[in-house]
C-alpha cells in the first residue's frame, strides 16, 4: 500500500544511465512509481522490473501527448501525482519536503511548482534567466492535465490555486548531452516541432490554454513571454534573446560552459527554428531547400581557406615563404587594421607607436592583434549567408560589400576603444570586450540581414 498521498509517473526511453539515479533519490519515500516507456532498447525495462515498477508502453509523438497518455493509462490511487523526466533527481531538501507532505495541509491547492536546477556538462546554469525556474510537477490527480496546445515545451496545467516550493530543488542533468552531437540532434528534432507549432498558432489552429499574466503564476508569466516572443520578427529575436540572457540576465557569469549553453539554447536553437518557420511559410523551391547545405559549404570553404592560409604563411612545418612574402593578404589585412586604428587615435591627439602586430597608446593602453581577432569567422559566415540565401543575384554584391565594410569599421572602432580604455586587470564582472563586440556585431548584422531578407523579390527586380 502506498504510504504517501502521492505517486510518481516517469517517462523513459533508453534511460539506463539516468533512471537508477532518479529512483535512488525517491526510493525511501515508498511512493508508488509508474513508468511509461516509448520503446527502450537498452536496460531501462530491466531496471524497472528489478525495482518492481509498473510499466506501460506508448509510442512517442511529442512530450505533451506522451504525458497526456501517461495520466490516462495508469490507475493512480493517490490524490496527488508527481510527473518527472528520467534525467531529473529529487534533491535531499525536496525529498524532505515530500516526506513531510500531508494532503490535509494543502486544502484548496491544486498544484505545486518545484524549483529546478539545470545542469549542462556538469555545470549548474545559474544565470541567463535559468534560475530560479519553477515547473508545475506536482498536482491533484484528475485535476491537473497536460497542455496539448503545446507541441514541444510541455506544461502541466491546473484550474485552481497553486503554490511554489522555492527551497527544495528538482535537479536536471541529461548525461547524454555531454556529447554535443546528441544535444544538436535532439534540438534539431525539437526545432521541427516548435516551428510547426508556431506556424499553427499564426493560422489560429492553436490557442494558449492559459491566460497570460505578468504577475500571475509561473505558467501564466511564461504564457505572456511566449505571446511577446511570437510577435517579434524572425531572425532578429534570437539575437535579442541571446544578448538579453548573456548581459541583462548575467549569463556570462556562468563561465565558458554556461556561455556555450546559452549560445546553443538561446541563439542557435532559436535561429534554426526561425529558419524552419520561414522555409515552411514560403514553401521554398529546390534552390531554397539547398540553402543550408550551400551556406555551410561556403562558410567552411571560406573559413578553412583562411585557416590554412594562415598556417602556410606562418613559420613552421608547412611554411611557404613565397606566399608569405608576396601574397599574404592576412598579414596585410592585420596591418591595415593596426594602421587605421593608429590613424584614428592620432587624429584625436593620442601618442601612438606600432611595430609588427602591436599597437601602444602611450599613457593609456594598447593591444597585440592576433589573427583570430580579425573577425574572419564572422565575415566568412556573413558572406556565405548572403551568397547562399535565395535572393536575386543582382541584389547581393552591394549588400555583401556593405556588410563586410561595416564589420571592418566596427573592428577598428573596437581596437580604438581597447587602446584607450582596456585594463587587463579589470573586474571579472566586466564582460570581455570580445563578447561585447561580437554581441553588438551580431545585432547589427542580424538587423541588416533581416531587413534585406524580407525585401520582397518584386522590389528587388524593380531595381535591377
pLDDT at 388: 87
**Half-sphere exposure (CA, 13 Å, Cβ side) for 27?**
10
| Averaged pLDDT of the chain | 89
Average pLDDT over residues 453-460: 59
pLDDT level of residue 311 (50, 70, 90 thresholds)? confident
Average pLDDT over residues 276-293: 69
Q: Would you say residue 69 has pLDDT above 50? A: yes
CA–CA separation, 455 vs 464, rounded Å?
14
Share of the chain above pLDDT 90, in %: 62
- Higher local confidence (pLDDT), 23 or 288: 23
The strand pairing partners of 118, in sequence order, are 172
Residues 291-302 have pLDDT tens digits of 788 888 999 999
Average pLDDT over residues 161-183: 95
The C-alpha cell that represents 59 in the structure block = 509510442
H or E stretch at 113:
strand 109-120
At 202 the three-state DSSP class reads helix
Q: Would you say residue 142 has pLDDT above 90? A: yes
Average pLDDT over residues 257-276: 94
What value, to the nearest 5°, has the Cα angle with vertex 201 and ends 455 and 144? Answer: 155
CA–CA separation, 213 vs 10, rounded Å?
30
Q: Would you say residue 283 has pLDDT above 70? A: no
The angle that helices 236-243 and 433-453 make with each other, rounded to 10 degrees, is 160
CA–CA separation, 304 vs 329, rounded Å?
15
Average pLDDT over residues 420-437: 67
Domains of the chain (ranges, CATH numbers): 6-175 (3.90.550.10), 180-282 (no CATH), 287-422 (no CATH)
Average pLDDT over residues 425-451: 73
CA–CA separation, 229 vs 83, rounded Å?
27
Share of the chain above pLDDT 70, in %: 93
Q: Would you say residue 48 has pLDDT above 80? A: yes
Q: What residue has cell string 525556474?
A: 133
pLDDT at 282: 67
Average pLDDT over residues 1-25: 93
pLDDT at 313: 86
pLDDT level of residue 83 (50, 70, 90 thresholds)? very high
- Higher local confidence (pLDDT), 295 or 25: 25
Residues 380-428 have pLDDT tens digits of 888 998 898 877 788 889 989 998 999 899 889 988 988 988 776 655 5
Note the Cα 115 to chain centre separation in Å: 20
Point out the least confidently predicted range of 43-57, 272-286, 408-422. Answer: 272-286
pLDDT level of residue 66 (50, 70, 90 thresholds)? very high
Q: Would you say residue 432 has pLDDT above 80? A: no
Question: What phi and psi, each to the nearest 5 degrees, are found at residue 365?
Answer: -155, -155
The C-alpha cell that represents 50 in the structure block = 528489478
DSSP string, 156-188: EE-SSEEEEEEEEEEEEE-GGGGSHHHHHHHHH
**Half-sphere exposure (CA, 13 Å, Cβ side) for 130?**
27
Amino acid at each position: 500500500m502506498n504510504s504517501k498521498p502521492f505517486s510518481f509517473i516517469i517517462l523513459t526511453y533508453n534511460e539506463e544511465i539516468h533512471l537508477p539515479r532518479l529512483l535512488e533519490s525517491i526510493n525511501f519515500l515508498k511512493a508508488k512509481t509508474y513508468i511509461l516507456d516509448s520503446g527502450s532498447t537498452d536496460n531501462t525495462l530491466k531496471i524497472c522490473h528489478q525495482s518492481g515498477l509498473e510499466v506501460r508502453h506508448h509510442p512517442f509523438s511529442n512530450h505533451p501527448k506522451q504525458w497526456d497518455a501517461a495520466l490516462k493509462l495508469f490507475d493512480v490511487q493517490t490524490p496527488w501525482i508527481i510527473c518527472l523526466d528520467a534525467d531529473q533527481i529529487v534533491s535531499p531538501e525536496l525529498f524532505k519536503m515530500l516526506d513531510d507532505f500531508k494532503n490535509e495541509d494543502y486544502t484548496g491547492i491544486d498544484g505545486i511548482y518545484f524549483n529546478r536546477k539545470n545542469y549542462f556538462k556538469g555545470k549548474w546554469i545559474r544565470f541567463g534567466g535559468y534560475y530560479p525556474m519553477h515547473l508545475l510537477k506536482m498536482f491533484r490527480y484528475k485535476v491537473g492535465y497536460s497542455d496539448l496546445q503545446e507541441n514541444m515545451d510541455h506544461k502541466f496545467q491546473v484550474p485552481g490555486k497553486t503554490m511554489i516550493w522555492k527551497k527544495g530543488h528538482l535537479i536536471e542533468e541529461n548525461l547524454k548531452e555531454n556529447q554535443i552531437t546528441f544535444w544538436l540532434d535532439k534540438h534539431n528534432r525539437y526545432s521541427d516541432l516548435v516551428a510547426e507549432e508556431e506556424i499553427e498558432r499564426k493560422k489560429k489552429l492553436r490557442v494558449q490554454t492559459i491566460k497570460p499574466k505578468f504577475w500571475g503564476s509561473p505558467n501564466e508569466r511564461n504564457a505572456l513571454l511566449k505571446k511577446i516572443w511570437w510577435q517579434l520578427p524572425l531572425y532578429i529575436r534570437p539575437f535579442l534573446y541571446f544578448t538579453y540572457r548573456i548581459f541583462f540576465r548575467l549569463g556570462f557569469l556562468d563561465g565558458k560552459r554556461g556561455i556555450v549553453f546559452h549560445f546553443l539554447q538561446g541563439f542557435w536553437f532559436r535561429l534554426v527554428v526561425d529558419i524552419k518557420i520561414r522555409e515552411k511559410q514560403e514553401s521554398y523551391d529546390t534552390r531554397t531547400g539547398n540553402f543550408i547545405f550551400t551556406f555551410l559549404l561556403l562558410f567552411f570553404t571560406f573559413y578553412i581557406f583562411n585557416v590554412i592560409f594562415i598556417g602556410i604563411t606562418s613559420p613552421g612545418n608547412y611554411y611557404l615563404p613565397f606566399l608569405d612574402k608576396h601574397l599574404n593578404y592576412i598579414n596585410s589585412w592585420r596591418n591595415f587594421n593596426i594602421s587605421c586604428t593608429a590613424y584614428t587615435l592620432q587624429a584625436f591627439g593620442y601618442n601612438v607607436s606600432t611595430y609588427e602586430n602591436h599597437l601602444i597608446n602611450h599613457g593609456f593602453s594598447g593591444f597585440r592583434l592576433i589573427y583570430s581577432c580579425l573577425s574572419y569567422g564572422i565575415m566568412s559566415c556573413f558572406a556565405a549567408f548572403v551568397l547562399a540565401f535565395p535572393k536575386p543575384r543582382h541584389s547581393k554584391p552591394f549588400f555583401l560589400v556593405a556588410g563586410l565594410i561595416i564589420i571592418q569599421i566596427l573592428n577598428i572602432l573596437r581596437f580604438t576603444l581597447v587602446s584607450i580604455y582596456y585594463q587587463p586587470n579589470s573586474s571579472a564582472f566586466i564582460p570581455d570586450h570580445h563578447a561585447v563586440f561580437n554581441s553588438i556585431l551580431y545585432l547589427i548584422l542580424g538587423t541588416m540581414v533581416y531587413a534585406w531578407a524580407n525585401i520582397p523579390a518584386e522590389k528587388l527586380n524593380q531595381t535591377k
